[in-house]
Each structure stands twice: as structure tokens, then as C-alpha cells.
């Protein structure tokens, strides 16, 4: 049975798992503007939000202290640590859930691992200096994601591909080789096509349509389309009106082999995932 050893917890991947997004950035947990620090109030808010997502069926909580939206300002490592670590410690102490940390910084990987994280999610696929070594040292599973361009600040300037699916696939297989060379076994890896990261609307739609081709890499796929601009552009919807569009992509992603679905709207996503699995595999299997 496919599974990930996430520190003290095991995450079974025979069923699709839902990862709830917990952004600890000033725009998501505002406590007075840009001078965000992990105040008692914001840690409490983060915990309540995480607990709600767990009650709704999330089995992973992805804690991120750096906004990776196109054009987002970079944050210092210290600021990221200040945002993320207290929240990870609190969730780890209070909730029965796998915590993942959405970071590219080696220092954050190390400290988050010590604070109770069970998975490292790096949108830059361990490209920052020292990240590969830090991730290897933690012994944790890793999510490797495709992004065209070296950073979220510039990735949307002029995305271009001959064949997006084979280019994403080639990139991800190179990352597997790189990890294995650094002593990280492939059983510890999760792959992500990186929806919205250096891709136009047509690129994103093609990638989802043909996502099943990435199963040839033989590793679990993580999919993050929730509320993204691909949905805004396809439907002409603002970010707070993208739930239905997001759910359509979830059903398609599950049908095409997605094993972990990263979302903001956990309850609705869990229903769509379970319903899609019931259609694909039958209700008996769905209840097992
Ligand atoms: N997308 C975002 C952040 N982290 N990690 C993975 N593995 N896959 C993704 O698609 C992914 C990710 C997008 O982040 P951002 O635009 O900051 O918004 P939010 O975190 O609210 O989704």
C-alpha cells in the first residue's frame, strides 16, 4: 500500500488526501498591516483555522510564511521563521494531523522539522543553496514542484513551452535523480506539476487535461489549483467566487491520479474527492 512516513505519522495514499492551506502571511492573518509577527492572537487564529480544516477532513495542513503569488515581495528567513515556527509548534501540540511546511529556505526546513513538521513542500524544488542538504538531513518526505523561471517574482513574465507536459515531466524526473544522488530515496518524494507557476491559462488547462501522463513517473502527485488565477481567467471570477471552478479541477485531478489535493475549501473538496472516488472505485472501496 503506498504511503508516506511523515515523522511520527504515516499518511496512507491508497485514498486521496486533502491538504488544507494555512497561510501565515500578513495578508491572510492580518494583525495590523505589514509589521506581521507571530502574536498570540495570530497563533490562536491559525490554530482555530487549522482545527476547522482538520474537522472538515484535512489530513495535512500546509503552513506557509512566504507568499508565492506572482510578483510577491520576498521575505527574510528570520521573518519566515517568526511566522511559521510558533504556528507549527502549536498545531503539532494540539492537533492530530500531518503538518507540511511550504518553504524554500534550508533554515526553515530544519527548524520546522524540529518543531513537528512531517513533510517539506518546496515550490522551488530545493533549488536554494543548502536546501537539498537540509531537506535530506530531516529525513522527511518532500514535495518537488515544477516552476518555469527561477522565482515567483518573475515566473509569469513570459511562460513558454514546446510541450508543457513533457517539459514538466522531464523537469520532475531530473529532480528525482538529483534527490536520489543526495541520498533521498524516491519513496520519500511527492511530485507536483505546479499549476500557476510560470504557466499561461492554456498551459494550466493542458497540464490538467493530460496530468495522467505524469503518473508514468511512478510517484504520488500533489495538485494545487485552489482559487488560482487559471480559474479566475477561465470563468471570469474574482478570487472569492472560484469555489465551483476549483472543485471541477479537483474531480478531474483525482480522476487523473492526483493523490494529495492542496486547497483552501476543505469540506467541499472532501465531498468532491469522496464522490469522485466512489464513481471511480465503487462505494464499498470508498467506505473501506
Ligand atoms: N501553490 C501555492 C503555494 N504552494 N505548493 C505546492 N506544492 N503546489 C502548489 O500549487 C502551491 C504550493 C500558491 O501559493 P499562493 O499563491 O501564495 O497562495 P495560497 O498559498 O493561498 O494558495
- Helices 106-115 and 77-94: angle between axes, nearest 10 degrees: 20
Within 6 A (CB) of ligand 1 lie 21, 23, 64, 67-69, 102, 121, 123, 143, 145, 192, 194-195, 222, 224, 226, 262
Residue 87 banded pLDDT, cuts 50, 70, 90: very high
CA dihedral 32, 35, 41, 46 (to 10 degrees): 100
- Map grid coordinates 490554530 to a residue: 47
Given the residues 124, 228, 259, 274, the one annotated as active site? 228
The residue-averaged pLDDT of 22-27 equals: 83
Give the pLDDT confidence of 242-288 residue by residue, as tens digits.
Answer: 999 999 999 999 999 999 999 999 999 999 999 999 999 997 655 55
The protein residue whose alpha carbon is closest to atom 11 in ligand 1 is: 224
Q: Which residues of 225-241 are buried (b: 16+ CB within 10 A; e: fewer)?
A: bbbbbbbbeeeebeeee
Q: Is the pLDDT of residue 33 over 70?
A: no
Substitution site in 224, 239, 264 for ligand 1 pocket (most atoms within 8 Å of beta carbon): 224
Q: Is the pLDDT of residue 78 over 70?
A: yes
* Contact indicator for 196, 228 with CB cutoff of 8 Å: yes
Specify whether 199 is catalytic: no
Give dist(CA 60, CA 169) in Å, integer: 25
Query: How many domains is the chain partitioned into structurally?
Result: 1
Domain of 119, CATH number, reads: 3.20.20.20
pLDDT for residue 288: 52
pLDDT for residue 285: 57
**Which of these ranges, 27-31, 50-54, 144-148, has the smallest mean pLDDT?**
27-31
The protein residue whose alpha carbon is closest to atom 10 in ligand 1 is: 224
pLDDT for residue 287: 55
Specify whether 262 is catalytic: yes
Give the pLDDT confidence of 139-194 residue by residue, as tens digits.
Answer: 999 999 999 987 888 888 889 999 999 999 999 999 999 999 999 999 999 999 99
Rounded to the nearest whole angstrom, what is the distance from the C-alpha of residue 12 to the centroid of ligand 1? 22
Q: Are strands 3-6 and 9-12 parallel, antiparallel or unpaired?
A: antiparallel
Residue 27 banded pLDDT, cuts 50, 70, 90: low
Whole-prediction pTM value? 0.94
Rounded to the nearest whole angstrom, what is the distance from the C-alpha of residue 285 to the centroid of ligand 1? 31
> For residue 219, what are the domain limits?
3-287
Rounded to the nearest whole angstrom, what is the distance from the C-alpha of residue 155 to the centroid of ligand 1? 14
Amino acid at each position: 500500500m503506498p504511503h508516506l512516513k511523515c515523522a511520527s505519522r504515516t499518511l496512507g495514499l491508497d485514498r486521496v488526501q486533502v491538504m488544507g492551506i494555512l497561510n501565515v502571511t500578513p495578508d491572510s492573518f492580518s494583525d495590523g498591516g505589514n509589521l506581521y509577527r507571530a502574536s498570540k492572537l495570530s497563533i490562536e487564529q491559525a490554530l482555530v483555522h487549522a482545527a476547522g480544516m482538520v474537522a472538515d477532513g484535512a489530513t495535512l495542513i500546509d503552513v506557509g510564511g512566504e507568499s508565492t503569488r506572482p510578483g510577491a515581495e520576498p521575505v527574510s528567513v528570520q521573518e519566515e521563521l517568526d511566522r511559521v515556527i510558533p504556528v507549527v509548534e502549536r498545531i503539532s501540540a494540539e492537533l492530530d494531523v500531518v503538518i507540511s511546511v511550504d518553504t524554500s529556505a534550508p533554515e526553515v526546513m530544519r527548524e520546522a522539522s524540529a518543531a513537528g513538521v512531517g513533510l517539506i513542500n518546496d515550490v522551488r524544488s530545493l533549488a536554494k543553496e543548502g536546501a537539498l542538504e537540509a531537506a535530506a538531513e530531516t529525513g522527511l518526505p518532500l514535495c518537488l514542484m515544477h516552476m518555469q523561471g527561477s522565482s515567483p517574482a518573475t515566473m509569469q513574465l513570459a511562460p513558454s513551452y514546446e510541450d508543457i507536459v513533457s517539459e514538466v515531466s522531464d523537469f520532475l524526473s531530473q529532480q528525482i535523480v538529483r534527490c536520489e544522488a543526495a541520498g533521498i530515496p524516491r519513496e520519500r518524494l511527492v511530485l507536483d506539476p505546479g499549476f500557476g507557476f510560470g504557466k499561461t491559462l492554456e498551459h494550466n488547462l493542458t497540464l490538467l487535461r493530460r496530468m495522467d501522463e505524469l503518473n508514468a513517473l511512478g510517484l504520488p502527485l500533489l495538485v494545487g489549483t485552489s482559487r488560482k488565477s487559471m480559474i479566475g481567467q477561465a470563468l471570469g471570477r474574482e478570487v472569492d467566487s472560484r469555489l465551483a471552478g476549483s472543485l471541477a479541477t479537483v474531480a478531474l485531478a483525482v480522476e487523473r491520479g492526483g493523490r494529495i489535493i492542496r486547497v483552501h475549501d476543505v469540506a467541499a473538496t472532501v465531498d468532491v474527492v469522496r464522490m469522485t472516488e466512489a464513481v471511480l472505485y465503487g462505494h464499498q472501496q470508498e467506505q473501506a
